[in-house]
Amino acid sequence: MRKPIFLVCIVAVLALAVITVIAYKYWKAAHPTPDLELPVAACDLNNSTCTVPLPEAGEIVVDITPRPIPAVKPLAVSVKLSDTQAEKLEVDFQGVDMDMGYNRTPLTANGSRFTGQAMLPVCVTGRMKWAATFIITRNGKRLAVPFHFDVAAHGGS
């Protein structure tokens, strides 16, 4: 009678292993590692448009409105690339000190400008530090440009 229980346990362990491998592969595909990540920009997106020079060539100019950046309200995201081209540009919002799930938005290209709509989820703990990382794909390589900013739980900074 113990053989069926043993076989059920083996099948359960193997099924768990397969699910873990599939979940890991899905996560890696959804969260590819950038080839290069710049240091966190000194500019505060809550106060102004931010400009950061890019390695090799050009700069990125980032604007998120409204200001201060609120939680649970539509955000207009606008990025202009100067003196460089990109095949794709995405913005990834993540809690700096708390995992808030997957919040990546592809931006739509219009020449050297990329635009899109995004929204930060609500955080019930009060003020929260967020990272907005702009992921630029150019020449097949991914460059991450991170910014940090604070958001109040029920509104802006």
Query: For residue 140, is it within any domain?
Result: yes
d(CA 47, CA 31): 29
Contacts of 105 (CB under 8 A, 6+ apart): 77, 90, 91, 92, 93, 116, 117, 118
**Residue 131 is assigned to a structural domain of this protein:** yes
- Residues 95, 131: Cα–Cα separation, whole Å: 6
Q: Are residues 57 and 91 in the same domain?
A: yes
pTM equals 0.77
Q: Residue 25: which domain range?
A: 1-30
Write the DSSP symbol of residue 155. Answer: S
Question: Are 23 and 42 within one domain?
Answer: no
Q: Determine, yes or no, domain membership for 156.
A: no
Residues 18 and 50 both lie in one domain: no
Count of structural domains, the chain: 2
Domain at 85, CATH number: 2.60.40.10
Q: Looking at the domain assignment, is residue 103 inside a domain? A: yes
Confidence of residue 157 (pLDDT cuts 50, 70, 90): very low
Question: Do 25 and 40 sit in the same domain of this protein?
Answer: no
Same domain, 66 and 142: yes
Write the pLDDT tens digit of every residue in 95-139.
Answer: 898 888 788 999 999 988 999 999 988 766 678 899 999 999 988
The DSSP bridge partners found for residue 150 are 129
Kindly state whether residue 157 falls inside one of the protein's structural domains.
no
User: Same structural domain for residues 51 and 113?
Assistant: yes
Same domain as 42, residue 58:
yes
Please check whether residues 6 and 48 belong to one and the same domain: no
- 64 lies in the same domain as 115: yes
The helix (H) or strand (E) run that includes residue 17 is helix 2-30
The string of pLDDT tens digits covering residues 30-48 is 656 777 889 999 999 999 9
